[in-house]
Copies of this chain bind each other. A is one copy, B any other.
């Protein structure tokens, strides 16, 4: 793989998001098959944004491939708030649907927060709602956790297991959808967690103390090699496109970490092929879990 140039004896272990996501989805498929009623996932798309259309199709196809009941609602760009809320309400009431995903961003005339708040929290498989954020904060086992931090935790688990006692974790980024839930998950797993961000003083020095370093900022290669503690596990959530004349497309994807400099990390996620592939896998896992909870 050209994105993974490390190969010396001392090179870090590559955390293969594709392979781990495949294992997660295999588990999800078998759990889905064990249920009397198929897990049902409804994906709602408003408007014709091409990137959103691609994401929605990928999610629907994955759901079908796993044996889910998969429903897609494609609504015109001029759909009103009330019309969209009516679709959400109908899906809330539909016993064959266990997960509802409204693809963001919505057209500007729609109120995303109100739409997300209208989704039954037990069907909010993206974990975007205030109630699921609160459940995570208070430690409610019914919390549905946003897919990116959940996938990142799963990757960390392949290196360290589920108990991170005695490990220092540093999360760079304090966003509501990645940085903050990531910090809460790490603290619950017994790591000592530091939330760092653009106002942090001596970020390199702070990172040098991290046994687990999670970069979730979206600034290409901002984490330099000498910020990384030897042997650390590095989870790179960022994806940015940078110009690259050697590529046919004229650009390539890079993460928040200067990957080529991270030769002394213990384990690291590549970009692409690290955290990215986990997102859809976690969406499917959240959906089968929602179906399992409903079946109990």
Which A residues have a C-beta under 8 Å from some C-beta of B? 129-140, 165-168, 174, 176, 180-181, 183-184, 187-188, 190-197, 199-201, 206
Contact = CB atoms under 8 A, between A and B. Distances in A.
A240 B195 CA distance: 29
5 closest A-B pairs (Cβ-Cβ)? A134-B134, A130-B134, A133-B134, A165-B199, A194-B194
Classify the interface of chain A: helix, strand, loop or mixed: mixed
Contact of A192 (B136, B140, B181, B199): B199
A117 to B, nearest CB: 10
A114 B168 CA distance: 36
A167 B195 CA distance: 12
Contacts of A196: 192
Of A131, A134, A197, A206, most buried by chain B (CB within 10 Å of CB) is: A134
Contacts of A165: 199
A287 to B, nearest CB: 21
Nearest to A179: B187
Contact of A197 (B133, B187, B197): B187
